[in-house]
Amino acid sequence: MNSHKLLYAFVSTILISASLSVAETPPNIIVFYTDDHGHADLSCQGVLDDIKTPNVDALARSGVLARHGYSTAPQCVPSRAGLMIGKFQSKFGVESNGKSLDGFDRELTIAERLQAAGYATAQFGKWHLGPGPRITDHGFKHVFAQNVGRPFAANITLDGEDREMSDLPAEMYHIDGCSRAAASIIERYKDRPFFLYIAYRAPHVPLDATQKYLDRFPGKMPERRRQALAMLSAVDDGVGLVTDTLAKHVLTEKTLIFYIGDNGAPLKIHKLDAPGGGPGWDGSLNDPLNGEKGMLSEGGMHVPFVVSWPGTIPGGQVYDHPISALDVAATAAAIAELDTKPGDLDGVNLIPHLSGEADSPPHDALMWRWTAQSAIREGKWKLLRGGDREYLFNLKTDLEEKDNLASKHPEIASRLRDRLNAWSKTLDPPGLANGGMSRAATDYFDFYLDGRAPEPKVTDSATRPRPERDAPRERRRAKGNQ
């Protein structure tokens, strides 16, 4: 652990430990984080009728369904880095998969901040931000990093009992195992504040739902769709187990819960129902949004987003102002009354906005950069850039991003571009782009935004589409980066 992190933890513990003993116990915080989960795939979204997520629906009814919730990137590693730090990831060098994690290692995660404030902290499932055994360096006391059926890094058992950090053989389906271990930690720490980060590797490939969940979705449909629905049903069961455990110990009104997707679904344009559960379309859907994972179009980073805190946030809300995964850390820091300095966090405390105390939008604008793409959303307007291409959309009337208004409203495009450019100077390296457009990104922009016909579907297994970039990296690092 870096020396500044050790000093932060030591000083914070001394200052806070005494106050915790006399002050009211601060609220618990739980973050459910799904993986390559398309915008359409919560039944409470009301988009599709084949998806069944009754427990997440109940969570939304108890709080807020955010219609315009955003990830910080259209890809796994950077979106997780931004969530954990609460700062836009390109400010510390984690722009995309494969980039050095040195900048991330130097930053303080929200888990470190909460741990120093007396919280019990635990991570479950997919980490993807370095070796699994090193997750404890980032503020998590307990680790159960299962996202496969093979041995995985863990220093607790399924029942929440301590063990030496080492590979733990899988005893349950990875989604079910994470859920059970999380419920066990709630049981263990029911009398003190806790922060749980439950990052299911679902419905990300490899598609591996068990028969129990597949049987819930009979009938004719693409097999990859059935797998995605089944994996998300397992996630939903996990949400139910966790919320039931909270209710059992009268912790429901003492717990703030976020449910967020890390980025949009990878459709690979054709949504090819290739046999097996390996690389390709993961069966999830982004309807009615345009685009997919790997794009700063809405389909790439406009994600499922639910917030619940009964007794503090009124239930039954559908919230239409844009919010960001960056807001998780800022909200957690505020409700736990953590000391932060200007520039530590890029998000905002959502509680005043979701509780009705503040009626203004949480953000006057949200901005992104991911490799050769950049975007800004300001109210109803969104400017999207990809290489030399530029698009302006009115998301109030065109959420599907079909009508490019850049030539009709050049003054709006210019103003948004200037604002985006000013923000991009705070990034490392500065600029509206950090590299060139990849072949995949070019194909995606051609098809989704410029309406060009795609290449024919590939059905011959010998020439099947190349694995998405996440998959081989995950396989190579499976032993150390669970």
**122 and 222 fall within a common domain:** yes
**140 and 59 fall within a common domain:** yes
Domain of residue 445, residue span: 366-449
Domain assignment present for 395: yes
**351 and 215 fall within a common domain:** yes
**11 and 141 fall within a common domain:** yes
Domain assignment present for 179: yes
**136 and 94 fall within a common domain:** yes
Burial status of residue 400 (CB atoms within 10 A of its CB: 0-12, 13-18, 19 or more): middle
Domain finish residue from 330, 355, 380? 355
**396 and 250 fall within a common domain:** no
Domain assignment present for 360: no
Domain assignment present for 342: yes
Total tally of structural domains belonging to the chain:
2
CA distance 178 to 30: 13
pLDDT the model gives residue 15 = 45
pLDDT the model gives residue 9 = 53
**266 and 398 fall within a common domain:** no
Domain assignment present for 458: no
Domain finish residue from 355, 380, 395? 355
Q: What CATH number has the domain bearing residue 389?
A: 3.30.1120.10
Structure confidence by residue, pLDDT tens digits, 307-350? 999 999 999 999 999 999 999 999 999 999 999 999 999 999 99
CA distance 436 to 445: 13
**283 and 411 fall within a common domain:** no
Domain assignment present for 477: no
What's the DSSP call for residue 302? B
Structure confidence by residue, pLDDT tens digits, 360-397? 999 999 999 999 999 999 999 999 999 999 999 999 99
User: Are 100 and 129 in contact, with CB atoms under 8 Å apart?
Assistant: no
If one counts every other C-beta atom within 10 angstroms of the C-beta of residue 99, the result is 18
pLDDT the model gives residue 326 = 98
Domain assignment present for 220: yes
**147 and 95 fall within a common domain:** yes
Q: What CATH number has the domain bearing residue 146?
A: 3.40.720.10
**376 and 259 fall within a common domain:** no
Domain assignment present for 478: no
CA distance 441 to 1: 37
pLDDT the model gives residue 456 = 83
CA distance 123 to 451: 42
pLDDT the model gives residue 457 = 77
Three-class DSSP category at 212: helix
Name the stretches of the chain with pLDDT < 70.
1-23, 458-482
**123 and 204 fall within a common domain:** yes
The dihedral through the CA atoms of 331, 335, 338, 341 has a sign that is: positive
Q: Which amino acid is at 353?
A: H
Q: State the pTM of this model.
A: 0.92
Conformation bin of residue 130: beta by default, left when phi > 0, alpha when psi is -120 to 50: left
Residue 64: phi and psi, rounded to 5, are -130, 130
Residue 259: name the closest of 481, 25, 26, 41 by CA. 41
If one counts every other C-beta atom within 10 angstroms of the C-beta of residue 151, the result is 15
pLDDT the model gives residue 11 = 47
**320 and 393 fall within a common domain:** no
Q: Which amino acid is at 406?
A: A
User: Are 424 and 374 in contact, with CB atoms under 8 Å apart?
Assistant: yes
pLDDT the model gives residue 214 = 98
Peptide bond into 314 cis (omega under 30): no
Domain finish residue from 296, 326, 355? 355
